């Protein structure tokens, strides 16, 4: 079975951009909250969307970079390999 990881990576990057744009658009609405709990829930969802967007972006970039290791992907993967080496050697 041939899976196109580059296409999956670009889809993850696109999903990250869409979530980020949706979160930014929502922040310009300037909502008024009736209770503290609604405000806290909204802030928690904003944080979750930000974390999800960042995770999808990193995953997509790593997938695309592994497909292009021979050209520009090595510059992206070099810090990742360094961090993996740091974890293997120990703190």
3-class secondary structure per residue, the chain: CCCCHHHHHHHHHHHHHHHHHHHHHHHCCCCCCCCHHHHHHHHHHHHHHHHHHHHHHHHHHHHHHHHCHHHHHHHHHHHHHHHHHHHHHCC
The more confident residue out of 1 and 37 is: 37
| pLDDT given at position 48 | 92
Give me the pLDDT at residue 26, please: 64
Question: How much is the pLDDT for 91?
Answer: 58
Task: Indicate if the pLDDT at residue 3 is higher than 90.
Answer: no
Tens digits of residue pLDDT in 35-76:
888 888 888 988 898 899 999 998 998 888 888 888 888 888
pLDDT band at 85 (very low <50, low <70, confident <90, very high): confident
Segment 21-42 shows an average pLDDT of: 77
Mean pLDDT (the chain) is 84
């Amino acid at each position: 079975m041939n899976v196109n990881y580059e296409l999956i990576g670009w889809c993850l990057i696109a999903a990250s951009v869409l979530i980020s744009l949706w979160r930014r658009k929502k922040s310009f609405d300037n909502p008024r909250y009736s209770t503290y709990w609604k405000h806290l829930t909204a802030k928690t969802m904003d944080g979750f969307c930000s974390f999800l967007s960042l995770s999808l972006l990193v995953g997509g970039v790593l997938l695309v970079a592994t497909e292009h290791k021979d050209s520009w992907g090595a510059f992206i993967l070099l810090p990742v390999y360094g961090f993996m080496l740091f974890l293997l050697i120990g703190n």
